[in-house]
Structure formats: structure tokens, C-alpha cells
Amino acid sequence: MNRVVGIEVKASSAPTAHSAKHLMWLRDELGDKFIGRIVLHTGPHSYPLDAKIVAAPIATLWS
């Protein structure tokens, strides 16, 4: 089974659910194939944006 991980990078320090609209569309199109989802941003905190979509600091990649 093919699986998809979606990643978006935003210059914002506090992206909103609207910032993840393309990931939401992809999630809805792919259903169970869509397993990973993250919006990387410049802020300091991680938080949920929508079902199966989380915002996380880009610094998460190297910390």
C-alpha cells in the first residue's frame, strides 16, 4: 500500500488551520493513504491545526 506524508513550510510564527488548507485537501483526497502531516513554521510551539495535521517549529528538524 502506498502511503503519503505531507509537509508544508510557512514563514509565519503561528500558522492557522487556513495555512494548512492544501494539506487538508490532500488528506481528504487520499483518505487512509495520508498518514503524515506537518506544517513547519518559525514559531516556538507545536500544536494541532486540524485532524491529522500538526504545526511544529522548523527547529524540530535539528533538535
Taking only the tens of pLDDT, the chain with its 63 residues reads: 689 999 999 999 999 999 999 999 998 999 889 888 899 999 999 999 988 789 999 998 987
- d(CA 20, CA 16) in angstroms, rounded, equals 7
> What was the pLDDT predicted at 56?
96
- Give the chain's domain count: 1
Domain that holds residue 38: 4-61
Contact 53, 23 (CB under 8 A): yes
DSSP 8-state symbol, 44: S
